[in-house]
Structure 1
Amino acid sequence: MTQSGLSEMALQDALAKSGIVHIGIGAFHRAHQAVYTDAAMAAKGGDWHIIGVSLRSTDIVDALNAQNCAFTVIERHPDGPKARRITSMSHAIAAARDVMPVLAALADPAIRIVTITVTEKAYGIDRQSGRIQNDHPAIRHDLDHPDRPSGLVGILVAGLKSRKDASMRPFTVLSCDNLPANGKLLRAGVIDFANRIDPELGDWISQNVSFPSTMVDRITPASTTATYDDAKTLTGVDDPAAIETEPFSQWVIEDDFPDGRPAWEEAGAIVVADVEPFEDMKLRMLNGSHSLIAYLGQLGGYRYVRDAMANDNFAGLVARHMENAAATMAPLTGIDFARYGAELTERFRNPEIAHETRQIAMDGTEKLPQRIFAPVCDLAADSRHRGTFALCFAAWIAFVQGQINPATPGENSRLPDDPRADEIAERIGSVQDAADLYDRLAGLPGWMPRQLCEDASWRKAVISRLVMLLTNSADAAIRHELGQ
């Protein structure tokens, strides 16, 4: 029998016990949604196994399928690692090889939920308008080839079209990416895409498909040799799909699943009517602090978050930023922002978690709008809480400027790891002046909110901190921000 025949048989076997397709089977999904689903089925049962889809990588698909999609999660506790085998995945598909098995799974009535973790830049949806970005490579390809899509939105629309054409109930679409109102954003983009190819399909999606929002949280560093060695030691299994993560995990889910869902609350998920306040808290306090650590950490030579947090001044700056972020939000019932910030600090300090600042620093143009710009817009222009936000933006500018115009003689310049890298490089050129750098990068089209673009005090605050970073060290800028 051919390999494709074997794959088809494996998919059919998997569909017999599965209820979820997950798009984006990287480390975060395997440390988060797969773990919650594993625990939910252990507690309450149900045919909710996950068929995993990788849009780009083939290696992880091969590694998972070779071991029946079981894999090891290593939790890095301060007193040592602990291992757990996860068996909630039933099959993995490499869409880059052939998207048709993905579409076949989405067309199967057994699938009731499609969950997603693909990072912010893979959506191809403009956050301001909710419309698809015509210049996004996957969007452009899929509009031209809707029957053989390669990107997230195109695949979702093709899958929903097959359900409509067969007069079947649609699946629920559940984004688990760090995007504000991720369900609403994805819904708008999917409907816009569908309208471009079939307005009747767009209307059907608008009237029938649920897109609940979620908030997710678990620090998941990239796997290393130590990850695989610990998996072997603790489980006795050689596991190339092993991942490591912190003990903490959080999942807040909008309860809108017309065709049912696993009992995720049995695994500790929080099921609510409105996710947005929790999203804001996490994006502004955790993710915003992470960006601050990432860019200042890169500038200051701190490879890992834990290294930066071992510096008392750096840790003090992060604590101040969390206070500033909390000041941008309305009170949230049952949540003590100060306690949440203290918990975050302890998580960041965990010496067993090797979370690289370089990894967090990627894709700044996708992350800063909700982590930095949105909260600043909720503060008065003369607010004392603006300082660390301005420092974070200044650090991002210095970071990308340093990549394009490296200070070390003979060092090769490189583009930032960012979906707008070419635009950033073109605007920076050989510019060194802080005010000029700010004006060029703040002026990226459709990026910084108009409120901030027209805010002279914000511009002044960022430029003054950028001057400090360009003429002194990151540590000096941190001490200056703390008034030392």
Structure 2
Amino acid sequence: MSPTSTNWFTNKDLFQYDRQQLKSRIVHIGFGAFHRAHQALITHEMLSQQSSDWGICEVNLMGSEQLIQNLRHQDHCYHVLEKGPQAQTCKTIGSVIESLHPAFDGHQAIIAKLAEPQVAIVSMTITEKGYCIAPATGKLDTNHPLIAHDLAHPDEPQSAIGYIVAGLRARQQAGLDGFTVLSCDNVQGNGHIVQQAVLDYTQKVYPELLEWLKQHVTFPCTMVDRIVPAMTDESLAEITAIIGQADPCAIACEPFRQWVIEDNFIKGHPDWDLAGAEFVDDVVPYEAMKLRMLNGSHSFLAYLGYLAGYPYISEAIANPDFERCIRQLMLKEQVPTLSMPDDTDLEAYAQELLDRFANPSIQHKTWQIATDGSQKLPPRFLNSIQFHLAHHSDCRLLTLAVAGWMRYVGGIDESGQPIDIRDPLADRYREIVASTDDDENRVLALLAIDSIFGQQLPTQKTFVESVISCYMMLKNDGVKETIKCY
């Protein structure tokens, strides 16, 4: 593909549909890398196959002001570079037609957009921490700074939850129906999670809205899958060479993608299945499969791989000992915890994941995956560990993963270099590291973080002793030697 006009984004021949016919029927919160390479791309490909008016309005609530400005400068078009081991494809995406940011447009403009009659879906990719849920309880964290602000100032929200409820209240007051709230984050039961957050928040700020909301809003669960690394200068340069001009909104990703969606929409949905999405009655088994086998393996490689000096997932999995551990982690420790349809080939799925991890064209940083561990540990490791404890079965690699996370949040890698810990609980980790010796006392202090581990797991003697043993082995023998032994 090469541009045939001065600016590629003014070239109407790039699209098989008329962008002028699109309406902002979807408002998406979180114009990040994953959304650009997944939902917006799939919507674009759906539009290319049928006459439809399903356009997207993008909303970023905090930060990324320059990204939104760049997007507007390009008439809301951007590129996705799909990078396979042998070939790559660059696609120009046109499904986005509008954007908003409180820094430019103010709170009320976003609430007003959510209240427009044509809006049928409010989707989001805001990461686990964006739901402001306490992981151990599954309830809204009213002490979260964003939620605390929104409870005091509901007309000027800062959180995604606050905006959604404000928009629903505006619709109810205008005599309109509601919309579907569609979470597209890697959170097990993501529809249930956002529903709980919305209901808890509504109960506190607008209790009179609660019954209307229960009748006029749906919260489907989804399972999303595509490896989308943070953008690099190298990938940006590749895209510039392909299209002939710079695109600061571009993103690179692997060719594989999957989107499984619970078919529970209050005002209809795009025919995303034309572009490979799958509508099902129950997403939960697929979510658990992906979170435990793919995301759990990713986090294992992220913490232990980073400590061992591997900057990228493909480098870590190239170590035969890591590869064997990941295969065993998936098939021996995660698969027994799953309840999948009978025709699901989990061995083939595991091999497909190993092949995807090994793709050298995707430079997925271990450090990137290691962020926000406090939100990721429960669905990726701890729920499976609880299963094994209840069934008296082996989970030594899951336990090693927890110990690897503990070594990682200690803040120093095996070369003695500081680690840039990015996590909502980073200050808590630093306090623990400063107040404990690097031994079982640090393990016990970390296990005492009940927002991660809850009340029951730290009382399980077998688990605690196993974590301590793994932790001390990692400390004394190093990651690579420990992995070899396992």
Short-chain TM bin = over 0.9
1:91 alignment partner, SS class: strand
- Which of 210, 213, 226 is matched with 1:218 structurally? 226
**Alpha-carbon separation, structure 1, partners of 2:323 and 2:59:** 38
- Which of 106, 115, 119 is matched with 1:107 structurally? 115
**CA apart distance, 1:356:** 0.1
- Which of 39, 44, 47 is matched with 1:38 structurally? 44
1:347 matched to 2:356: yes
Q: Which residue of 1 aligns with 2:57?
A: 51
Q: Which residue of 2 aligns with 1:256?
A: 264
1:474 matched to 2:475: no
Q: Which residue of 2 aligns with 1:293?
A: 301
Equivalent AA in structure 1 for residue 33 of structure 2: A
Q: Which residue of 1 aligns with 2:365?
A: 356
1:19 alignment partner, SS class: strand
Q: Which residue of 2 aligns with 1:447?
A: 452
**CA apart distance, 1:123:** 1.3
**Alpha-carbon separation, structure 2, partners of 1:151 and 1:14:** 31
Matches within 5 A, 1:59-458: 59-97=66-104, 98-323=106-331, 324-380=333-389, 383=392, 385-403=394-412, 416-458=421-463
Equivalent AA in structure 1 for residue 88 of structure 2: P
TM-score where L is the length of structure 1: 0.92
**CA apart distance, 1:287:** 0.5
Q: Single out whichever of 64-73 and 118-127 deviates more from structure 2.
A: 118-127
**Alpha-carbon separation, structure 2, partners of 1:130 and 1:14:** 42
Would the alpha carbon gap of residues 331 and 130 (structure 1) be closer, same or farther in structure 2, given more than 3 Å must change?
A: closer
**CA apart distance, 1:428:** 2.5
**Alpha-carbon separation, structure 2, partners of 1:138 and 1:343:** 39
Contact 2:309–2:414 (CA under 8 A) maintained in structure 1: no
2:388 alignment partner, SS class: coil
Would the alpha carbon gap of residues 36 and 148 (structure 1) be closer, same or farther in structure 2, given more than 3 Å must change?
A: same
Q: Single out whichever of 97-106 and 127-136 deviates more from structure 2.
A: 127-136
Per-residue displacement from partner, 1:138-183 (whole Å, max 9, x unpaired)?
1111111111111110000111010010010111100001111111
**Alpha-carbon separation, structure 2, partners of 1:101 and 1:227:** 34
Would the alpha carbon gap of residues 74 and 400 (structure 1) be closer, same or farther in structure 2, given more than 3 Å must change?
A: same
2:154 alignment partner, SS class: coil
Equivalent AA in structure 1 for residue 217 of structure 2: V
**Alpha-carbon separation, structure 2, partners of 1:45 and 1:356:** 39
Contact 1:127–1:185 (CA under 8 A) maintained in structure 2: no
**Alpha-carbon separation, structure 2, partners of 1:349 and 1:105:** 42
Contact 2:136–2:454 (CA under 8 A) maintained in structure 1: no
**Alpha-carbon separation, structure 2, partners of 1:217 and 1:272:** 16
**CA apart distance, 1:20:** 0.2
**Alpha-carbon separation, structure 1, partners of 2:277 and 2:137:** 31
Contact 1:232–1:238 (CA under 8 A) maintained in structure 2: yes
**CA apart distance, 1:45:** 2.5
Question: 5+ unaligned residues in a row in structure 2: which ranges?
Answer: 1-18
Contact 1:14–1:91 (CA under 8 A) maintained in structure 2: no
Per-residue displacement from partner, 1:114-155 (whole Å, max 9, x unpaired)?
010011111112244443212211111111111111111000
- Which of 440, 451, 461 is matched with 2:466 structurally? 461
**Alpha-carbon separation, structure 2, partners of 1:254 and 1:382:** 30
Equivalent AA in structure 2 for residue 469 of structure 1: L
Equivalent AA in structure 2 for residue 389 of structure 1: L
Per-residue displacement from partner, 1:204-247 (whole Å, max 9, x unpaired)?
21222101110101000011112221112222232111100000
1:84 alignment partner, SS class: strand
**Alpha-carbon separation, structure 1, partners of 2:21 and 2:427:** 42
TM-score where L is the length of structure 2: 0.92
1:82 alignment partner, SS class: strand
**Alpha-carbon separation, structure 2, partners of 1:356 and 1:414:** 13
Equivalent AA in structure 1 for residue 351 of structure 2: A
Would the alpha carbon gap of residues 414 and 387 (structure 1) be closer, same or farther in structure 2, given more than 3 Å must change?
A: closer
Would the alpha carbon gap of residues 333 and 68 (structure 1) be closer, same or farther in structure 2, given more than 3 Å must change?
A: farther
**CA apart distance, 1:383:** 4.7
**Alpha-carbon separation, structure 1, partners of 2:411 and 2:205:** 43
Equivalent AA in structure 1 for residue 76 of structure 2: C
CA RMSD of aligned residues (A): 1.8
**Alpha-carbon separation, structure 2, partners of 1:15 and 1:348:** 40
